[in-house]
């Protein structure tokens, strides 16, 4: 009975993953982009979720370090909707293609008003999600 035990540092990422799953972030992105599932190993919504995890984990998105960021992470906790995800599939090439697909849809609303330091998508997503979850739980949200 010699089983190896591995320790992983997960921090808040499983909670973030559950929040993204509950709000349907991955499905919304994939539906909006109308991506053909057989063309890619990792869908664009999951790649965007990976970039959000990377942004919040390191403070910046460095596409060339995306695969190394997930090298020691428990992927089923980070991506519960994609249990068979392979670390090698989260790479800078796939992230670049995902960003190109997002850009091709055309940016809309919420200009950063010449403030490149503001992380536009995160503030909007989490503000709306917090308001929705607060209303569902019966808590006031200001």
Q: Helix count (H) and strand count (E) of the chain?
A: 7, 0
Q: pTM of the full predicted structure? A: 0.70
Nearest to 78 by CA among 50, 45, 47: 50
pLDDT of 20-76, one tens digit each?
998 889 988 888 887 665 667 888 999 999 999 988 888 777 888 898 998 888 888
**Paired tokens of 9:** 């540092």
- Please state, in angstroms and as integers, the Cα–Cα distance from residue 20 to each residue in 1, 25, 42, 104, 124, following that order: 38, 5, 16, 23, 13
Q: What is the DSSP string of 9-76?
A: --TTHHHHHHHHHHTTHHHHHHHHHT--GGG-SS-HHHHHHHHHHHHHHHSS--GGGHHHHTTTS-HH
| Conformation bin of residue 137: beta by default, left when phi > 0, alpha when psi is -120 to 50 | alpha
pLDDT of 69-123, one tens digit each?
988 888 888 898 887 888 888 999 999 998 888 888 776 655 566 666 665 555 5
Contact present, 119 and 55 (Cβ < 8 Å): yes
Residues 6+ apart with CB under 8 A from 27: 45
Q: What is the mean pLDDT of residues 113-142?
A: 61
């Amino acid at each position: 009975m010699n089983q190896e035990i591995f320790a992983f540092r997960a921090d808040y990422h499983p909670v973030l993953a559950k929040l993204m799953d509950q709000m349907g972030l991955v499905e919304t992105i994939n539906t909006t982009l109308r991506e053909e599932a057989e063309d890619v190993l990792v869908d664009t919504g999951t790649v965007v979720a990976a970039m959000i995890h990377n942004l919040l984990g390191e403070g910046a998105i460095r596409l060339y370090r995306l695969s190394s960021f997930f090298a020691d992470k428990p992927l089923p906790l980070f991506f519960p909707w994609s249990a068979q995800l392979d670390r090698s599939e989260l790479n800078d090439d796939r992230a670049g293609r995902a960003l190109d697909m997002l850009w091709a849809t055309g940016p809309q609303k919420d200009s950063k008003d010449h403030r490149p330091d503001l992380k536009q998508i995160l503030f909007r997503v989490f503000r709306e999600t917090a308001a929705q979850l607060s209303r569902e739980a019966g808590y006031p949200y200001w």
